[in-house]
Amino acid sequence: MNRIFLAFRIFFGTLFGSAPAQQVALLLEGPTEEAKPPQPVPEKVKPSAPSPAAKKPLRSEALTLLAALQREARLVDLIQEPLSDYSDEQIGAAARDVLRDCHKVLDRLFALQPATEANEGSNLETPASFDAAEYKVSGNVSGEPPYHGQLVHPGWKATKCDMPQWQGSADAALMVAPIEIEIT
């Protein structure tokens, strides 16, 4: 009953008064040019571009990588399996396929390359200054770099980093592999 009364009031109010008409227009259509209040409109925050530091991402990229290795290569299944139950041959048969597919994933996402083109066993000199994450020196290390020695491991380096962009919801932020159900 109240609503019918209100509707009549609005109807006659808008028909005969200009101020109520403006208010109703505002209600129905949002602010129009004439109806806009004189005070300055506050700056709108762009909804599409939140600042990156503002929010912690819902999901760690590490889980997204793990999910890709599971999805395409079944790596998590292999690692979670109790190895003592199986013979080397059984493990080998499954591992061959899993490792092959893991390689494909890593190659596609990171295109791993040896960090130096020098061969293992050849002589190599470090730069005069270097990061400990770039060169690891061992043995008879003394004095200031550059160090001179034998290459033991050429290292690995990603030549790109094309991580999948995770698109799931907050509820699924910790999922590595979905629950699979077959409808019969």
Partner 1 sequence: MSAEFVVGIDLGTTNSVVSYCRLDAETPEASLLDIPQLVAADAVETRPSLPSVWYLTREHEAAAFASALPWNSEPGFVIGEFARQQAAEHPERTIAAAKSWLAHASVDRRAKILPWQAPDEVAKISPVEATRRYLQHLVAAWNDAFSESPLDQQMVVLTVPASFDASARELTREAALEAGLPANLVLLEEPQAAVYAWLADEGDNWRRHVNVGDRVLVCDVGGGTTDLSMIGVADHDGDLSLQRIAVGRHLLVGGDNMDLALAHFVAAKFGEQGVQLNPWDSVSLWHSCRTAKESLLAEDGKDSHKISILGRGRSVIGGTKSIEVERTEVAALLTDGFFPLCEATDRPLRQRQSGFQQMGLPYETDTAVTKHVAAFVHDHQPADQPDQAPTLVLFNGGVFRSEALRNRMLAAFTNWFPTPLVDLRSDLTERNASLDQAVACGAAFYGWSKHRGAIRIRGGTARSYYIGVETAGLAIPGAPRPLKALCVVPFGMEEGTQTDIPSQEIGVVLGEPATFRFFSSSVRKEDQPGQMLSQWTDDELSETDSMEAELPAGADLEDPFVPVRFQSKVTELGVLELWCVSTNSDGRWKLEFSVRESTE
71 versus 106: smaller Cβ distance to partner 1: 71
CB count within 10 Å of CB 173 equals: 13
Q: What is the dihedral of CA 44, 48, 50, 52, to 10 degrees?
A: -150
CB-CB contact of 55 with 45 (8 Å): no
26 versus 95: smaller Cβ distance to partner 1: 95
Q: Report which of 103, 138, 131 is spatially closest to residue 115, judged by C-alpha positions.
A: 131
Peptide bond before 50: cis, by omega within 30 degrees of 0? no
Q: Report which of 125, 160, 131, 167 is spatially closest to residue 146, judged by C-alpha positions.
A: 125
Among 22, 23, 64, 116, binds partner 1 (CB under 8 A): 64
Among 20, 24, 71, 149, binds partner 1 (CB under 8 A): 71
Among 61, 97, 120, 125, binds partner 1 (CB under 8 A): 97
Among 32, 60, 90, 122, binds partner 1 (CB under 8 A): 90
Among 9, 36, 96, 157, binds partner 1 (CB under 8 A): 96
User: Could you say whether residue 66 binds partner 1 (CB under 8 A)?
Assistant: no
138 versus 184: smaller Cβ distance to partner 1: 184
Distance CA 76, CA 176 (A): 9
Q: Does residue 72 sit in helix, strand or coil? A: helix
User: Could you say whether residue 168 binds partner 1 (CB under 8 A)?
Assistant: yes
Q: Report which of 109, 112, 62, 102 is spatially closest to residue 78, judged by C-alpha positions.
A: 102
Question: How far apart are CB 73 and partner 1 at their closest, in Å?
Answer: 9
User: Could you say whether residue 175 binds partner 1 (CB under 8 A)?
Assistant: yes
Query: Across the chain, which distance is largest between two alpha carbons, in Å?
Result: 98
Of 108-167, which residues contact partner 1 (CB under 8 A)? 108, 162, 164-167
Binding site for partner 1 (CB under 8 A): 64, 67-68, 71, 74, 77-78, 80-81, 83, 85-86, 90-91, 93-98, 100, 108, 162, 164-169, 172, 175, 178, 182
